[in-house]
Structure 1
Amino acid sequence: MKSRLVSEVDGLRTFVLVMDKEDEAVERLTAFSREHRVTGAGLTGVGACRDATLGYFDAERKEYLDIPVGGQSEVLSLIGDIADDDGRPALHAHVVLGHRDGSTAGGHLQRLTVWPTLELVITETPAHLRKRVDPDVGLALIALDATDGPGGS
């Protein structure tokens, strides 16, 4: 994986990541976020993969049910965020994968093996838009009361 800091304005950074063949996207993103101390950011991406595991959040069980996706797919859309979970980055991303016949599969990104590339943009968010993991729900949610910010009350 290659990465580059492409912008830094008022302490908020924007990175571009280009993943290589066989990179496991979730592992790479989590390691990158930890290494660069990214604990609040949005992310987008496009590319392709040779297999993936997506998830569907079961609200009653408060856990993701696996959706295995085998074979080559286009990453049509990857969007999500990186939140703070007790000082550690927590990735929450959704992905839509396109298949050869034009059908799609979508869900929470749990695992994705890149083939041949995955291009991502990570943009840090200001402190007043940071997410925190809500233990009652089990998901990262925007915590408007976590810090004061513009327009906050």
Structure 2
Amino acid sequence: MRFSRGRNFLFRVPEGRELLGFINDFAEEHNVLIGSVFGIGSLRNPKIGYFDEKAGEYRVNELSGLYELVSLSGNISLRDGKPFAHIHVALGGPDGGLYGGHLVEGEVFVAELFIQELLGEPLERKPQENGLALWDAEG
């Protein structure tokens, strides 16, 4: 598949908003169907997960308190016909430890995001036998 660059968005997410939901709402409002997402900031009480291959589902780790959003990276594609953000994060804890995984939920204290829209044929996430919803496109 080939894509070209579309619009760029650089903005701060309002404090108190749930980050993943905000990204999905932003993409839908601005009709971003495919794109890349990057960010930094801080999250309160984030929930991150990892995919348990044997169980075929995500295991969620709930963190308490304020965590530095050291890095956020991900993509936007379609799921059930609507923009869907798949986001991974690295979070710095108060003890200096680093936690990482798939972002499940997180309340924004500070979040500065960059979204790069891509133009081309939309990518749709579809359920697979392994329990994940993946793109139909392979390289």
What's the TM-score once normalised by structure 1's chain length?
0.79
Match of 1:141 among 132, 135, 139: 135
SS in 1 for 2:23: helix
Matched with 1:58 is 52
Correspondent of 1:122 among 95, 115, 122: 115
Q: Which structure would you say has the larger Rg? A: 1
1:26-56 per-residue CA deviation (whole Å, 9 max, x = no partner) reads: 1111111111111110000000012110011
Are residue 30 (structure 1) and residue 36 (structure 2) matched? no
For 1:75, the equivalent position in structure 2 comes to 69
SS at match of 2:65: strand
Query: Is contact 2:126–2:136 with CA below 8 Å preserved after alignment?
Result: no
Q: Write the distance in 2 (CA, Å) between the matches of 1:122 and 1:85.
A: 18
State the 1:144 CA deviation: 4.6
Deviations 1:110-129 (A, max 9, x none): 101111x100101012326x
For structure 1, which runs of at least 5 residues remain unmatched after alignment? 1-9, 146-153
User: Does residue 99 in structure 1 map to residue 93 in structure 2?
Assistant: yes
Please give the root-mean-square deviation of Cα atoms over the aligned residues, in Å.
2.0
Alpha-carbon displacement from aligned partner over 1:90-130 (angstroms, at most 9, x marks no partner): 11110010012210111100101111x100101012326x5
Q: Choose between structure 1 and 2 for higher RCO, CA contacts under 8 A separated by at least 6 residues.
A: 2
Aligned residues: 134
Deviation at 1:142, TM superposition (A): 6.5
Instruction: Indicate the residue corresponding to 1:3 in structure 2.
Output: none
Residue type at the aligned position of 2:124: R
The alignment partner of 1:43 has SS state of strand
Q: Does 1:87 align with 2:43?
A: no
Q: Equivalents in 2 of 1:87, 1:60: separation in Å?
A: 29
Relative to the length of structure 2, the TM-score reads 0.86
Shift of 1:79: 0.2
